[in-house]
Structure 1
Amino acid sequence: MNERQTEYFRRKLQAWREELLDEGRSTIMGLQDSSRNIPDIADRASEETDRALELRTRDRQRKLVAKIDQALRRIDNGEYGYCEVTGEPISLKRLDARPIATLSLEAQERHERSEKVHRDD
């Protein structure tokens, strides 16, 4: 991967990270603002369900931010774009679709097949 491509992925990851952090901040503000007392039990239950879903989504995004940070560290270390299993380059098309990928498509498929075999036991 050349410098231009590396910089493209660095910017893409940084923009994605910032977008997720902004969404997280808006969620926190929204949860703080919506701490109102709702008298109707059905409305209160609906709001609690919405809050729980929002918090689960934010937790997934928090984990995604950690993976983005790892990808950015791999860029800094010169390890970005190489499969952790085979050491072979990950295709640019795959990285563009999933910039946090750590496995080549072939290694990912093998991993998923082995997971399925172990899950079926």
Structure 2
Amino acid sequence: MKQDVVLSEDYTPAEDEPFMNERQVEYFRRKLLTWKSELLEDSRDTIEGLQDGTRAIPDVADRASEETDRALELRTRDRQRKLVAKIDAALRRIDEGEYGYCEVTGEPISLKRLDARPIATMSLEAQERHERREKVHRDD
């Protein structure tokens, strides 16, 4: 079983440390778990709001506005659900020792990129190549 890693409140991964050392791994694990917890809390609030908000509205314009708001909430919730799945996948990569490495090149993903987007699976260069290829194929 893994031992507990002690992190100070102000710890930030640095380029001059060994890549994906225990402290960095724990930093990103906590970051991902906190993000997931916040998303799930938002999701619970949304569900409660949608359940509480179900009422008969006689005015057609008001009803249409309310339905638009609900549709937007549901789309947002669906995006959050997909994000939670990506967070879970990142947590699995941490457990498997693959977190922080590009799935295309195997090279380390920059700490700055991981800090900004902890669910990243590709280095910035590989992501840009992927998006360029995707754009070319979409234009067909």
State TM-score, norm by structure 1. 0.99
Q: CA deviation at 1:83?
A: 0.4
Work out which of the residue numbers 94, 99, 123 in structure 2 matches 1:104: 123
* Long gaps (5+) in structure 1: none
* Long gaps (5+) in structure 2: 1-19
- Who is 2:82 aligned against? 63
Q: CA deviation at 1:29?
A: 0.4
Q: Write out per-residue CA displacement over residues 3-62 of structure 1, whole angstroms, 9 at most, x where no aligned residue.
A: 101100000000000000000000000111011111101000000000000000000000
Work out which of the residue numbers 73, 76, 87 in structure 1 matches 2:92: 73
Count the aligned residue pairs: 121
Q: Percent identity?
A: 85
Stretches (4+) displaced over 3 A? none
The separation in 2 between residues aligned to 1:104 and 1:4, in whole angstroms, is 21
Q: CA deviation at 1:120?
A: 1.2
The two structures, once aligned, show a CA RMSD in angstroms of: 0.5
State TM-score, norm by structure 2. 0.85
The separation in 2 between residues aligned to 1:2 and 1:105, in whole angstroms, is 21
Work out which of the residue numbers 95, 99, 105 in structure 1 matches 2:114: 95
- Who is 1:4 aligned against? 23
For residues 17-32 of structure 1, the aligned pairs below 5 Å read: 17-32=36-51
